[in-house]
Structure 1
Amino acid sequence: MKFHRIPTDPNMRKLWLIAIRRVNFTPSTSTVICEKHFTPDDYEVNVHGNRVLKKSAVPSVFDFPAHLKKKPTAQRRVLKRKREESSKETDQTLDICEAVEEPENDPISVDGNLLVAGPSSNSALNPEHLESSEPSNICNLQAGPSSNSAQNPEHLESSELSNMCNLRREPVFFGDFKFSDLSNLQRRKRFWKITHETVYKYRKMIKYNKCTIRRQKDKINSLNSLVDQLCEEKKISAAQSLVLKESLSETQKQLLFRQLKKGKTNKYSPELRCFALTLNFYSSSAYNYVRKIFGKKVLPHPRTLSKWYSVVDGTPGYSEEAIRAIKIKVEAEKEKGK
């Protein structure tokens, strides 16, 4: 069996790729096609007696699937009815004209015919006038419109095609349905199809919204569940989770959850700052995990936290922040009566 490489000539290469009919196919230098895809006429015998492929040969024998095979197109029927009718009318008109013009040399026979077929006695009294004027009128009346139709058949066909093109269906929607349309089988079937499409569309939309709501409910609903999840992921220890749970009141927890859920780019509240600083102090990986889950805009960047840390006076000895914290602690103990 012989194998043939795809030609390097751009024109022949294009013809081969069109004949192969493979989508997104880029042949390489080693791509070959076997001889089964060529007809015997595509080969010739060279001077050495070898059977070689012609330079102009293109592969044409392929066992394509049904959807890739070319469907034979039926020839469109040409409307010739009006042409034939117009030609018949012209032939009949010409026959009438010839039959009337032939008896000019025989005035006696013409007079006899006119006396028999004439509509009144006045026509019988003036046979010469009828002989000269009536044939021309008949020819003009009969041959006029028919000759125009015979001379302009293309105009008739173009007008018919334009009328057919104008009969396009207008788009029909679900709200266009009327109760009287039930009596028409075609309209009833059309609106039945539109109704099913509309119902399927809204069912799909409802299913999508339900999935969105379910995914939102599966998210963390409170700070306690967030801390428990961090413990399960082993991002923080049990003692650290207890500190995080007791660091904020229930109102502050709800406020924190609301801000975490929205994820807006507004100013960070003091409660959120306290939570972010405490969590990052205990475990930076836990902080990055929470920031990844809720979004980068919900919690500040670690560099922002470092800027917040730099505000605190960290010099050795008693700092102003430490004295203020002790004062707040003492006032809280006095309120409790201790």
Structure 2
Amino acid sequence: MCMSRKDFATDEAWSRFLKFTIYKQRQAASCRKKNLRKSKQIGNIKELVSKLREENATAAADYLQELPEHVKQLISRMKNNKPSSPFPAHLKTFARSLHFHSPAAYEMVRQSFLKCLPCVETLNRWYCSKNYKPGVSEEIINHVSEMVHAELKKGKKPVFNLTFDEMGIKEWTKYCKQTNVLVTY
């Protein structure tokens, strides 16, 4: 179907039609160019992947063997995508310390690594599983004592500092699933 000036009532309508037609033609050309570039890029990536597979299959395997254990665990969690599997101790420690230092950085790392790190609610459950109450914790004192005894058995004389400090705690209430109690601070 071909349209001509005679099909339009005014010159303004004809002008708008021409502008719209030119716009759509340019848009279609732009899409064709994008598709062509993407198909070339996909072809180049496929060639690169096949070349790397041929040349570096053993090099990649060697590289993976040299990685630290906790990095291997992180990669296997990403690969297997099993959210219900238990977290290894290395990942728990890493997740807690990263979230402690910067919650924003923790979220960024969590999103970057395909959510293989636990969500913040899981971290809170881990914290809640410990019985942190005001006062001197017997658990901490016992742990420090064990560390001192272990160093003494090695023939070392440990030097350390145990500091007690006051702090103001903001008042709030939180439900603890482990103890099934509302905890007020």
Q: What band does the TM-score fall into relative to the shorter chain? A: 0.3 to 0.5
The higher-RCO structure (CA 8 Å, 6+ apart) is: 2
Structure 1-normalised TM-score?
0.28
Max Rg structure: 1
Structure 2-normalised TM-score?
0.48
